[in-house]
Amino acid sequence: MSDFLFNLSLLAFGIIILGATIYYFNGGEKQPLPDLPWLNTNEDERFTILRSRYRSLFNFKQTIDGAYGKVCYSNGGLSYTDTDSPQYSKQELSCILPSLADATILLPASHAAWIVSQPETILSATEPHVEQLQTQYTFVHSWIVQNPVHHDVIKGELTRQIGSLTMELMDEISVAFDELWGTNTEEWKEICVFDTVMQVVARASNRAFVGLPSCRNKTLLEHAMGFASAVPLAAAILSQLPEACRPLAALLIAYPNRKHTKGFAQILRSEIERRKQLLDAQNGEIEKKIGDAEPNDFLQWSLLRARKTPQSVEYESDIIAERLLSLNFAAIHTSTFSITNVIFDLLAGESSRNYLDQLRHEATAVFSSNGNTWTKKGLAKMYKMDSALRESTRLGSFLGKGLLRKVMAPQGITTPNGTHCPYGSMVAVPSNGVHNDPEYYPDAAVFRPFRFSSERQSNGTDDDFSSGDERTKSDDYIRKANLSFVSTSPSYHPFGHGRHACPGRFFAANELKLILSFMLMNYEFEPLSQRPASKWLGQNLVPPTTATIKIRRRSGNPT
């Protein structure tokens, strides 16, 4: 299997190189770009644009941070600031960020608020998502991504039901860790963080998505995790090919996507049909309960909504299943990345045991104060854990460039700094630079897990603003709330920012806190002398996927 994956990687790399070369020599950009400096170019060399594309592929972090300027780097535990870069963003200047197949107009970070204020008809957040994922090839029904009605369920029922789902999630997390990490309190066990955490995330997420017993169906979970891995790989390869080659190439490259979609739907189809029959037996009185209690999960909410929509296709079992699979795609990798990163961040360095002890104490105190149960309100009081997740995500955000938008205005649009962006061009800001800027984050290169918690805990751990006028209390509350893991801002946007920010981040934050709490309360960890390095794959930062740690079950039964 490993040989096959290695050969597939070589083939994919060859296709990318060939496709990019063909693309370049056949005209390059489809849309005109403004007359701006291209990053990684040298006017004295031949084929400088082509070379800049490859330099950006293999040296993306330095490229994006150099465009930003005044960024703190880490080197052997020491931090330093790059003062030799062009610093376009810091000078309120725009530039062109090349990649193998296209180029992005990189706007100053100060334009973040302006970008998110533009309507979808001017700057679209959906179109770049569709193009990046190559949805016409990587999804069986691409319109599921282009018309994400399941987002309404995420913003509505899923977010409202977080409290009622909390103990169910912890039940699934507990069972999953018992199986994957074990219950031996005597022997240390070496485990791969990424692989095991992905399985826990998949099971916990699907407890909320499809409920018991489907969330424990190993084949269903394999299809969910396989699809989550197959989509970005296929999209990365296809996006580098000339458009004329993509339909034929997708027959092979996107085959795993189709296989996982079909397999996922086949397993879930009988459960969907069973629930539809129960709903039909109610003669349209959806609120009337007959027999067993109505399931409280994403599948049921989707069925109830789909029954009411005029588009009958939305009520088809395979479409319901594919929307659930796309939800798995969004949930599994992002949460797996977050937990993997924060575990390695916490275990590395001399302060590891202190960090773990403080977080373990906080989790235990919240659990005990709520009658040995987990509640949404209790999780909201875990300021230190919330801060650790925010800090780890700041340093390990998957995206190097953020707030990506496509210009939809036929006449183009002119930015506040005077850059005219033509119709069809892509714009973004240098997110990685922002997240590593000492102007916003002192000692930006250093992982400080409680960077955001001390201020939120001041004046009472319950945010009890019992004194002062209402305006002061309101401003103080908002200021502190903006330091939470799920809050976005122009200087913190791993979840995006504005009305297009990730709608599932509230559910994800609670799930991550439950997973991390169970880990800390039930297991001991051997500290690491050094954090395993994350790696840049193109324009994305990926946590260590093969690194291992040693764990041992703690005595007793904390949860």
What three-state secondary structure class fits 75? strand
**Helices 505-522, 193-209: crossing angle, 10 deg rounding:** 130
CB 118 within 8 A of CB 415: no
Q: How far apart are CA 205 and CA 208, in angstroms?
A: 5
Tell me whether the omega of the peptide bond preceding residue 416 falls within 30 degrees of 0, making it cis.
Answer: no
CB 304 within 8 A of CB 286: yes
Burial of 110 (0-12, 13-18, 19+ CB in 10 A): middle
User: Was 72 annotated as part of a binding site?
Assistant: no
Q: Burial letters for 445-460: b for 16+ Cβ neighbours within 10 Å, e otherwise?
A: bbbbbbbbbeebbeee
* Residue 469 exposure: Cα atoms within 13 Å on the Cβ side: 2
DSSP label of 523: E
CB 114 within 8 A of CB 419: no
Chain-centre distance for alpha carbon 411: 33
CB 124 within 8 A of CB 105: no
CB 125 within 8 A of CB 131: no
CB 402 within 8 A of CB 433: no
Q: How far apart are CA 471 and CA 3, in angstroms?
A: 64
Chain-centre distance for alpha carbon 197: 15
Q: How far apart are CA 493 and CA 116, in angstroms?
A: 11
CB 415 within 8 A of CB 108: no
Closest CA to 394 of 350, 454, 437: 437
Q: How far apart are CA 401 and CA 70, in angstroms?
A: 16
DSSP label of 424: T
Which amino acid makes up residue 62? Q
Could you list the residues known to form a binding site for heme, using ranges: 502
Residues annotated within a binding site:
502
